Structure formats: structure tokens, C-alpha cells
Structure 1
Amino acid sequence: MPTTHDGAEPTTPAERFGAVVHAAAQRAGYNLRTGSGGRAALAKDTGMSASAVGRMLRGETLPRPSQFERIARAVHLDLHDLLVRGGVISPDSANDLSERVRSLPITPEEAADAWGISNPMIRKILLANIRQAIGMQRDSERDQEQAGGNTAQR
């Protein structure tokens, strides 16, 4: 069980998460003693403010979900491991997390599958509409780029 920065057992989710990050940050080479610069370096490496890092390490607050990945990377922990050990998600939910979290966009066919659209006619209509929307988006972006380019030449 992790301990807080002052050696006590964590009693809140924020304290548990802070204790896990504190220990991992020290193992990763961050000197977290006051005035050492380690907290500022951790803040820079995670994209968080120094005050937010301090509150997190003291177990006062949990970081925003959008910051978890950068924290894990900075302290050399696997994201799933950080979230489980930090008490953000249960060990059971972490087993399924990699199947639900994607770094690449899904195809229209994958979207139809994920939504359970199996009726051939409905699926055909859905896929055609998605492809049309993608094409319209690309046309719009191209028009905006061309308009921006024309403005820059004036």
C-alpha cells in the first residue's frame, strides 16, 4: 500500500493517487524536496502548473483526466498501472481499458459494428452518410485553407 509524502496511509482517492505518483516520480529521478527543482521539472514534463503538481503530490486534488497519460509517461509508469495503483480505476476495469481506448480514428465500418448496426439496408445508409459527411468536412477544410491563402496574398 502506498503512503503519503508524510508517511501516512492514504485515506482519500487524491491521497492515494498522489502517493503513487510521488513514489514513482522519485524512482524516475525527480528530487521532490522543497527547493530542489524536481517539482518544477515534473510540472514541465507533465504540462501541469507547479502548483497543480504540488497539490497532486500532497494528495489534495486529482489531476484532470487529460493529464493522466503525460503523468504516467513522466514517472515511467504504464498508464493502466498508474490508474489502477492510483485508485482511479479498478483492476477489473483496467483489463478491458485497452480495448476501449483507441489512439487512431475508427473506420465507418467499425463505428457501425460498435453501434450494433447489422441490418444491411440501415448499415448501407449509415455508411453512405458517414462517408458523405467526411467528404463534406474535407471540402470545407480545403475551402478554408484556400480562403486563408488568398487573404495572405493580398
Structure 2
Amino acid sequence: MERKERNSEADSRADFGRWLRQQLESRGYDLRIRGGGQGKFAEDSGIGRATISRILSGQGATDTRVLAQLAAALHIPLGEVLVRAGILDPSELRAVQEPPAPGERRITPEQAAEELGLTDEHRRRLFVNMTQTLQRTAPEGGQSTAGH
């Protein structure tokens, strides 16, 4: 399993290197050995040439400062760069960009107890029961069932 994860990480870094190469070449940077494009982009972006070289060779980049500099230099949203670098997956980015509207996220009392860290079974049951009581709709006379 550990070997599979390492291969996946290596694939992700290589994919990111290919993606960055494509981005730079499409912007006119000549990345051939003597083309000078790596040095020019390093100068333009403020990122060290060795760092650019490591990323392009598939060794990746996880330093968010470097990724933010890449995003700024390429005029690409940071979120997209973080996804391309394998730092975030697309669903994580969507969750940050499009949080649920208030009241849209419904959880059960049991899930709420879990999220609140209620581990004592007695307190947990009390919390769940009280929450369920408060969630009940009031009967037709406007009085809640808790008042009876």
C-alpha cells in the first residue's frame, strides 16, 4: 500500500511538471536546454531557478508560497494550481469556493454530538434526546410537546 501511495504521489508530481511545462511554453518560454526559458520564468516569477527545474522534472512542489507565486506569475487562480499540484482535490476546492448556504447542511443529532466531541455515552444520549425533542414540530395549538 505504501509503495502504491508513493507511485501515486510521483505520478501527481510528474503530472504537475508536465502541466507547468505546458503553461510556460504556451506563454512563450523556451524550455529547451539552451532556450533560457527556465531562467527567464524564474526571474519573472521570483521563484528560484532550481525550484522551477525541480517542478518541471517531476519532483513537485508542496510549498504553498511557491505555488502562490506560480499562480500569480501565470495569472491562474491559486485554487487551480493547488489542485494541479495535488494539494487539494477538486471536491475540496469546490467545498471552499461554494460553501453550503445557511441551513442547507443538515446533520443528525448523532452527527452533531460526534462533531462536538461528546464521548461520554450518558451525555451523548442526553444531548441527542434533547435535540430530538427540540426538533419536534409544535402541534396545532401552538404549544410544544416539551411543555406537556
TM range (shorter): 0.5 to 0.7
The residue number in structure 1 matching 2:111 is: none
- CA gap of 1:97–1:68, structure 2 versus 1, over 3 A, is farther
1:51-107 residue CA offsets vs partner (Å, 9 max, x unmatched): 11111111123252111121022233222222223322100111133479xxxxxxx
Contact map agreement 1:13 1:88 (CA 8 A) in 2: no
**Which structure would you say has the larger Rg?**
2
Q: Is residue 2:17 matched to residue 1:18? A: yes
Q: Could you say which structure has the greater relative contact order, defined with CA pairs below 8 angstroms and 6 or more residues apart?
A: 1
Q: Give 1:79's aligned amino acid.
A: L
Give aligned pairs, total.
91
TM-score where L is the length of structure 1: 0.51
Query: Which ranges of structure 1 fall in alignment gaps of 5 or more residues?
Result: 1-9, 101-154
Structure 2 CA distance for aligned equivalents of residues 82 and 61 of structure 1: 12
The residue number in structure 2 matching 1:48 is: 47
- CA gap of 1:63–1:79, structure 2 versus 1, over 3 A, is same
The residue number in structure 2 matching 1:34 is: 33
- CA gap of 1:21–1:97, structure 2 versus 1, over 3 A, is farther
Query: Which ranges of structure 2 fall in alignment gaps of 5 or more residues?
Result: 1-8, 100-148
Contact map agreement 1:46 1:67 (CA 8 A) in 2: no
The 5 Å alignment of 1:98-137 reads 98=97
- Tell me by how many angstroms 1:11 deviates: 4.7
Contact map agreement 1:16 1:87 (CA 8 A) in 2: no
The residue number in structure 2 matching 1:110 is: none
* Identical-residue share of aligned pairs (%): 26
RMSD, matched Cα: 2.3
1:94-132 residue CA offsets vs partner (Å, 9 max, x unmatched): 1133479xxxxxxxxxxxxxxxxxxxxxxxxxxxxxxxx
TM-score where L is the length of structure 2: 0.53
- CA gap of 1:68–1:55, structure 2 versus 1, over 3 A, is same
Structure 1 CA distance for aligned equivalents of residues 72 and 19 of structure 2: 14
The residue number in structure 2 matching 1:62 is: 61
- CA gap of 1:73–1:93, structure 2 versus 1, over 3 A, is same
